[in-house]
Amino acid sequence: MNLKERTNLTPLSIRNGVPFNNAITINGGLKGEKINIVYVGSVSKLKNVDFLIRSVLQIVNYKVTLKVVGDGPEFKALKEKYRKYPNIVFTGFKKNTVPFFQKADIVASASRSEGLPMAALEALSFGKPLLLSDIRSHKEIIHQGSFGELFKNNDTDNFVNSFGNVIKLVNKEKNI
């Protein structure tokens, strides 16, 4: 029985942010130990991008690249601060984020606050595992299934441990 028959309501679908004709592209697999982490959003203190970068730099068992897709008040300062790290890539604002989600192994956010975390929801539409700070809106998403890990914000060791757990979900797009 469908929703209309059960409730006499006519559902309305509102697409927001993800062009679904391009949404599911499965990676060919991990290439050795290379892991591509993607952050999509504002580069600001609220989004805690500096902590995310510092934490990624502490991961030692994998060759990790972090792509920071977005712009904001901290963009220039962080790009300059981490310019000597070839595995930290700042793309600036991109109107089309589909290619970044498609090529991601993990999508991460260290945000201190979110309303509706659209980047995390978009990542799930691509079947990508999530590595998210333990704020309320991220918890609501992670507690819905086995597709990611939470970490304590501003706790680099906890981030690295959570990364170790979420790495097991890489290339499980069909399950996610």
pLDDT at 172: 81
Q: How many folded domains does the chain comprise?
A: 1
Q: Which residues contact 128 (CB under 8 A, 6 or more apart)?
A: 101, 104, 105, 106, 107, 173, 176
Contact indicator for 120, 109 with CB cutoff of 8 Å:
yes
Dig out the tokens for 132 from the structure: 């998210």
pLDDT, tens only, 79-117: 999 999 999 999 999 999 999 999 999 999 999 999 999
13 lies in some domain: no
123 lies in some domain: yes
Q: Output the average pLDDT for the chain.
A: 86
Contact indicator for 158, 176 with CB cutoff of 8 Å:
no
Residue 61 sits in which domain range?
A: 30-169
Dig out the tokens for 106 from the structure: 């993990």
**Of 17-21, 71-75, 97-101, 143-147, the least confident:** 17-21
91 lies in some domain: yes
Contacts 24+ apart (CB under 8 A), 15-24: 16/118, 17/118, 17/121, 17/122, 18/98, 18/122, 18/125, 18/126, 19/98, 20/125, 22/98, 22/102, 23/98, 23/125, 23/126, 24/125, 24/126, 24/127, 24/173
Banded model confidence at residue 75, pLDDT cuts 50, 70, 90: very high
Banded model confidence at residue 136, pLDDT cuts 50, 70, 90: very high
pLDDT at 118: 95
Banded model confidence at residue 15, pLDDT cuts 50, 70, 90: very low
159 lies in some domain: yes
155 lies in some domain: yes
User: What is the pTM assigned to this prediction?
Assistant: 0.81
Banded model confidence at residue 2, pLDDT cuts 50, 70, 90: low
Of 101, 88, 94, 98, nearest to 71 by C-alpha is: 94
CATH of the domain at 73: 3.40.50.2000
